[in-house]
Amino acid sequence: MTDGRMNRVIVALDVETGGRAMEIVRACNGVISFFKVGKQLFTAEGPDVVRRIKKTGSRVFLDLKYHDIPNTVAQATVEAVKLGADIIDIHTSGGYEMMKKTMEAVRGYCAAHSVSEPEIFGITILTSLDDTELKRIGYTGGTADMVARLAVLGREAGINGVVCSPLEISMVKKTCGSDFKTITPGIRPLFAQSPDDQKRVMTPKNAFDAGTDYIVMGRPITKALNIGEALRKLGDEIG
């Protein structure tokens, strides 16, 4: 197990097969113990991949971004809790009732079965949407306004935090309070030359210095020729 900041680095397992995912998990052994399973891997491999990762003693962020009517999201989230997911995300734009009902269902299940509660995070505005695209889907506020509004709504509904761009960390903390958590993708360490398709990136050190609770990083680790070496460099950078 690791301490401090390295303990709050989540490696995104955006790969095609469970076999490759487990290779990465093993290569991270002893340094990183938090992994994100998203739509690609989950659709390819099903829930069993989550069980396999959990068996290694690691934690899992199940990133399926649920968005549906309140009952459906609440029940799907409870199934994710049964799988052992430690962090689960839902869309804040699904509305207050959807988030509130989900929190009630999760708390009810965890209390009844004496299991520890996962953290539920909200998606506000996807970082792939700019102001022009937001107008086209009928959102009249700009990105910053909408992120703040949806984060506040999430806080009122009782979720634990939001997934946001590293550039939004301080705004979210200021609007919702420092105990309202943030998970930030869009992270590129100094040793990784390419931003890939990420547009507004920040280094892991700067994101933690800005107050984020977790960072999510995929390709700089998963595509590294030597994952152990990449993790050593990451540790040096984060300090």
Q: Give me 176's structure tokens.
A: 């919702």
Among 79, 156, 179, 196, binds ligand C5P (CB under 6 A): 196
Among 217, 227, 230, 234, binds ligand C5P (CB under 6 A): 217
Q: Which helix (H) or strand (E) holds 217?
A: strand 214-217
Least Å from the CB of residue 162 to ligand C5P: 10
61 strand-pairing partners? 36, 87
Nearer to ligand C5P, 12 or 27 (CB): 12
Catalytically annotated residue among 65, 205, 223, 233: 65
Nearer to ligand C5P, 105 or 165 (CB): 165
Q: Give me 21's structure tokens.
A: 């995912």
Specify the residue for token string 């399973």: 37
Q: Are 172 and 180 spatial neighbours (Cβ–Cβ below 8 Å)?
A: yes
Indicate the length of the chain as a whole number: 239
| 185 interacts with ligand C5P by CB under 6 A | yes
Q: Give me 77's structure tokens.
A: 């989230």
Among 75, 76, 198, 235, binds ligand C5P (CB under 6 A): 198
Least Å from the CB of residue 232 to ligand C5P: 18
Q: Give me 72's structure tokens.
A: 């459906």
| 129 interacts with ligand C5P by CB under 6 A | no
Nearer to ligand C5P, 126 or 167 (CB): 126
CA distances from 239 to 3, 129, 210, 211 (A): 11, 33, 15, 15
Q: Are 57 and 31 spatial neighbours (Cβ–Cβ below 8 Å)?
A: no
Least Å from the CB of residue 235 to ligand C5P: 17
- Asked about 65 being catalytic, the answer comes back as yes
Stretch that binds ligand C5P, among 26-34, 50-58, 94-102, 215-223 (CB under 6 A): 215-223
Q: How far apart are CA 100 and CA 196, in angstroms?
A: 36
Binding residues for ligand C5P, per CB under 6 A? Answer: 12, 14, 38, 126-127, 163, 185-186, 196, 198, 216-219
Q: Which residues are catalytic?
A: 65
